Amino acid sequence: MKKLTVIMPVYNGEKYLKEAVDSVLNQTFTDFDLLILNDNSSDATASILENYAKKDDRVVVVTKTSNEGPANLRNEGIEKANTPLIALLDADDIALPTRFEKQIKVLEADNELALCGTWFTIFGDKKEKVIKHAVEHDDLKVQFLHSCGLGNSTVMFKKSAIKELRFEHEYVPAEDYGLWSEFIANSKFYNIPESLVRYRWHPGNISQTKEENLRIAEVAIKKRQLTRLGIDQNSENAIYYVNAVCLKRKQSFEDIKQTISASYELLEKNKSIQFYNQKVFQKHIERTILRTIRNAKKNNLSYFNYVKNESGYFSKIKFLDKAVLFFKCLF
């Protein structure tokens, strides 16, 4: 039995598919199957895959007769994988040659570790930029409260650890954020602090073309995570708890008071439950609240007096920022 299955869904990917497949086949680690799921493509994708399958027996192609979407295809790939390790790569991204070798070394060195990601480089229509997500588990776990701490195409995980968890259609196009935020609740994660994947950014990216659906899905995922601290995700006030862990700019004076109140409640609940590392959790909330205070919708002296005398955060604001806030409220 091979050690690793690489799952790659593709739909009309002829333009970049060869780069993605070659980046997998040219890895320094070679004991894997590359499972490519063709989502009923209408371009040259099928013929490209046929040629690869003929040349390299590690390439396994599954051809769909109707369009099912990447979440379904990744779930099918997880089910079909008959290896202890599973890695993901999208059909327009590029894995650097040592990616698999380095991730496997990390995963095999720590029996408790369930998933290993890496930093990644965005390229394409945007200027190249290395995305440096949190590295250690405690930091990653808190990061997931405000954003996905993994690049989907950097992920490698132990199949035995993911159990029944899968990508959920309810959270498309943020289904990766939904899955990994559930997975990390009971499993140890780590990000290699090195860019080992090149993530292609172009107008066809799902998350670009469905921004409003993405925003709605992300808020729902954040609310679901906060249920672990006893917050009712269906409550009218749930959004204030979300705003306490994820910056929302231009809040009204009243909303900021509600958000600050929620921040104290979250800290007390976590202090009791210890779901998150309290030191990391507190640092994150304080940073969020201080940024919230600076980015209020409207400033006046009543607001300044509240921040100074009632919020409990005034002593944590830097002197220069206090002065700036005062003059903004004064004028």
Closest CA to 198 of 114, 97, 104: 97
Q: What is the DSSP letter of 151?
A: -
pLDDT, tens only, 216-249: 999 999 999 999 999 999 999 999 999 999 999 9
- At residue 60, the pLDDT reads 98
User: In angstroms, how far is the first alpha carbon of the chain from the final one?
Assistant: 71
Tell me the average confidence (pLDDT) per consecutive run of 10 residues in the chain, 331 residues long: 96 97 98 98 97 97 96 97 98 98 98 98 89 98 98 98 96 95 98 97 62 91 98 96 97 97 98 98 98 93 94 94 88 75
What per-residue confidence (pLDDT) applies to 125?
A: 77
According to CATH, where is 3.90.550.10 located in the chain?
4-209
CA nearest to 103, candidates 84, 124, 90, 122: 84
CA–CA distance, 181 with 9 (Å, rounded to integer):
21
- Cα–Cα dist 64/305, whole Å: 63
Instruction: Tell me the whole-structure pTM to 2 decimals.
Output: 0.94
From the options 3.90.550.10, 3.40.50.2300, 3.40.220.10, 3.30.300.10, give the CATH code of 4-209.
Answer: 3.90.550.10
Residue with tokens 């799921």: 37
Look at residue 205 in the predicted model and tell me its pLDDT: 55
99-118: burial string, b at 16+ Cβ within 10 Å, e else: bbebbbeebeeeeebbbbbb
Strands 32-38, 59-63: pairing is parallel
pLDDT at 213: 87
What pLDDT was estimated at residue 127? 86
Give the span between the Cα atoms of 195 and 131, in whole angstroms: 8
- Tens of pLDDT along 133-176? 999 999 999 999 999 999 999 999 999 999 999 999 999 889 99
Backbone angles phi, psi at 310, to 5 degrees: -125, -25
